[in-house]
Structure 1
Amino acid sequence: MKTAIVTDGKYRMSIAAVRALSRAGYRVVVTQTRGDAKAAPAVSVSRHCAQFRWIDGCAADTEYRERLLSVLQEYEKPVLFCVGAATLNMVAAQREEFASFADFLIASKPILDQLNDKEIVHARAEQLGIPVPKQYDTTPDVFPVVVKPHCGEKFGLKAAERYAVAHNAEEYDAIMKKMRQYDPQPLVQQKITGDGAGVSLLLDSDSKLICALCHRRIREYPVSGGPSTCCESFYDEAMIEQAYQLLHSFGFVGFAMVEFKDSCILEVNPRVWGSFPMTEATDSPLVAQYARAASGQAVQYTPKDYKVGVRMRFLLNDTVAILHYLKAGQIGTALRGMGDVFTAKEALHCKGDNQVFRAYLKQSLLKR
């Protein structure tokens, strides 16, 4: 049985990857750096996790490269699935060395850097004729606008801190002053209204599309604009084609999520994204296809190979979001959220593997 190694088990997104790889017939080993987690993550108790491995130090340590390579060498050319951005970037920077000991689909570090830069993505989308928000090089004459650094993750900002909305000139000046602490020339773009959506794609070693999944945001937190707490799967061939055109133009390899709003492309997450458990909720073959393609198997793209109309929520985050929608006077949205308690799928819940969900709730509540 071939082994698959999933890194950074502390992230809740890793749970979906572990389950999917196990169901695809892989023996799944999960790793986690001791310096980045106070206790064994919830995924360690999953029946799909065959082995849990601690790695000394932190993912940011220069020694992490040698430590992860040492683990990989204990197995016979395993499939490597990087969950954390630090691990992904480190492997991307040393692709040839890591390719000697593991199979993976990871773009080069320069390509990842380009896709993480919102201004580069904006310019490329314009070149391809794909709609993007209007961008201001000087003080905007129309509000509201969104202000954000080129790459918020690079500065260690949490998802909710990576942009801010200015409704007038006074707010704009204050936000620019704050953002310039991280980026001397933050991006300023027209604020697009409408529903947010994500198109998640998997591209093989030749940058060919082999899997796709669309989801739309139902609720988010903070309610003014933040990570989704509840989302729903759907299918849109045109959005998939635009997202693929963009990623393919960079020669991208691996999986990424392209964010849309009102038909405009906002940014790209060239890594595992927050709503990644949707791949499990919809029975998407994305993770299994990743493992097969990484191992050199020929994988063909099949449109709409997942369940549509599946609504998924993160219990704790969505409960907080619903309370804030109530506080903001958005009664209808809050009431629909209460209804989803009985109908939406909990992101981490899985029949026969409920220990993970209970462990995650316990850890999260104790942490908060």
Structure 2
Amino acid sequence: MNRVLVLDGMWNKSLAAVRSFGRKGFYVTAGERTRLATAIFSKYCSRRWIYSSPVLSQVNFLTDLEAELKAGRYDVIFPMEFSTQVLLTEVANRQMIEKYTRLPFADADLAKKGNDKAFIMQYARERGIGVPTTYMVNDIEQLAVIAKETAYPVLIKPRNSSGSRGIVYVKEKEELLTLYLKVHKEYPFPIIQEYIPDGGDVYGVGLLFNFQSEIRASFVYKRLRSHPVSGGPSTLRESVKREDVREIAGLFMKSLRWTGVAHVEFKIDPRDRKPKLLEVNPRFWGSLQLAVESGIDFPFLLFRLAMEGDIEPVMDYNAGVRCRWLIPGDLLHFIKNPERLRLKPNFFDFNTKDDIISLSDPMPVIGRLSSVLMFLYDKEMKHLLHG
């Protein structure tokens, strides 16, 4: 029997991986630092493993992990969150882990570059890829010059964050210094970036590369709703065919000599109708379930790649599939959107597929609801949520 270890069981993408493997008859261990985690409630978990917090004590976590790997005889390990992925792929830790199992992810140094918005914007611009006008700040004294020469509104973005964490909207130059210093206090030297006007669709591209940085799977979806309403993680999306963004994303990540999975996001600029690269997520992405529902099972393909050394490319999938994150993402969008009763697609279309809700595997809903308790009282979970 194939055996996999899926870490970071709190998140929707982890549940997608657990269900993917479990439905294929794998022995699946789901791990997290708390039992109140979405994926751990799935019926497809053969084992539920609670480990020491990698945030509070990396030493204790790695000790726990080595003991689990020794006992578990896993074929492949799947770190689902970026911080866990980076920790495991540091050179010394990778050497320990690969004595016991396979870890088919990019090395930590490359992943850190991919997660750095300043690096990604400059790297893309040098290669002729469209990006929003971006200012890299290395000295606070630069802000006076930037404030005068930039057009407003702009966004202040942490160099290293996910979702909408730390992003601030600046309407006019008088606000820039104050708001920048506020973000800088939590996220040193964030970038300042042009705000692409409303009216352009946002697309995500999921990718898989083999160990020679050749593309082995790609998938495109369009964001239909998000939380926060103004922009953030998608709460409703639809699989689409959009070859321009798929090609740009694939060539871009190939030029980085990428290995494993990645996610690249674009927004269509309504002024010239061209895609502008917004960010790279060098990890599994939150809306992973949509790709699986549409016919590209990235967790399973990555497993096969790790076990077989290479696989045939998988590029075809079903367009028009919709999947949402109802609890609590799309529900929060509905509550906070003043146009809630005029949403298109209709919020009350409950035939849409869901990241968590499943009649055949219902208990992860309880896991998601119970995990809210962790975010309310646990300092570490608040940190994960808010950065």
TM-score (norm 2): 0.85
Measured in 2, the distance between the counterparts of 1:119 and 1:206 equals: 26
SS at match of 1:100: coil
The CA RMSD over aligned residues, in Å, is 2.1
Structure 1 spans left out of the alignment, 5+ residues:
154-158
Pair 1:285–1:366, CA change in 2 (3 A): closer
Please tell me whether the aligned partners of residues 106 and 254 of structure 1 are also in contact (alpha carbons under 8 angstroms). Answer: yes
Measured in 1, the distance between the counterparts of 2:318 and 2:112 equals: 32
Number of residue equivalences: 354
Measured in 2, the distance between the counterparts of 1:106 and 1:359 equals: 28
Write the deviation string for residues 202-232 of structure 1: whole angstroms up to 9, x where unpaired.
1111111111111111111111222211111
Pair 1:25–1:166, CA change in 2 (3 A): same
Please tell me whether the aligned partners of residues 233 and 311 of structure 1 are also in contact (alpha carbons under 8 angstroms). Answer: yes
1:1-368 correspondence to structure 2 within 5 Å: 1-33=1-33, 37=34, 39-63=35-59, 64-93=61-90, 94-136=93-135, 138-139=146-147, 140-152=149-161, 159-193=163-197, 194-262=200-268, 263-304=275-316, 306-315=317-326, 316-326=328-338, 330=339, 334-364=342-372
Measured in 1, the distance between the counterparts of 2:55 and 2:107 equals: 19
SS at match of 1:177: helix
| Superposition deviation, residue 141 in structure 1 | 3.0
Moved more, 11-20 or 54-63: 54-63
| Superposition deviation, residue 190 in structure 1 | 1.0
| Superposition deviation, residue 237 in structure 1 | 2.2
Amino acid at match of 2:176: Y
Measured in 2, the distance between the counterparts of 1:172 and 1:54 equals: 44
Amino acid at match of 1:346: D
Please tell me whether the aligned partners of residues 204 and 253 of structure 1 are also in contact (alpha carbons under 8 angstroms). Answer: yes
Write the deviation string for residues 328-361 of structure 1: whole angstroms up to 9, x where unpaired.
xx367x4325445334222212341122224423
Moved more, 234-243 or 254-263: 234-243
Pair 1:103–1:340, CA change in 2 (3 A): farther
Q: Partner of 1:156 in structure 2?
A: none
Structure 2 spans left out of the alignment, 5+ residues:
137-145, 269-274, 377-387
Measured in 1, the distance between the counterparts of 2:267 and 2:94 equals: 33
Amino acid at match of 2:365: F
Please tell me whether the aligned partners of residues 44 and 52 of structure 1 are also in contact (alpha carbons under 8 angstroms). Answer: yes
| Superposition deviation, residue 270 in structure 1 | 0.6
SS at match of 1:341: coil
TM-score (norm 1): 0.89
Amino acid at match of 2:368: Y
Please tell me whether the aligned partners of residues 114 and 121 of structure 1 are also in contact (alpha carbons under 8 angstroms). Answer: yes
Write the deviation string for residues 12-58 of structure 1: whole angstroms up to 9, x where unpaired.
2211001112233421111122xxx3x34232232211111122344
Measured in 2, the distance between the counterparts of 1:178 and 1:162 equals: 10
Q: Partner of 2:382 in structure 1?
A: none
Please tell me whether the aligned partners of residues 155 and 193 of structure 2 are also in contact (alpha carbons under 8 angstroms). Answer: yes
Please tell me whether the aligned partners of residues 104 and 291 of structure 1 are also in contact (alpha carbons under 8 angstroms). Answer: no
Moved more, 261-270 or 350-359: 350-359
Percent of aligned pairs sharing the same letter: 27
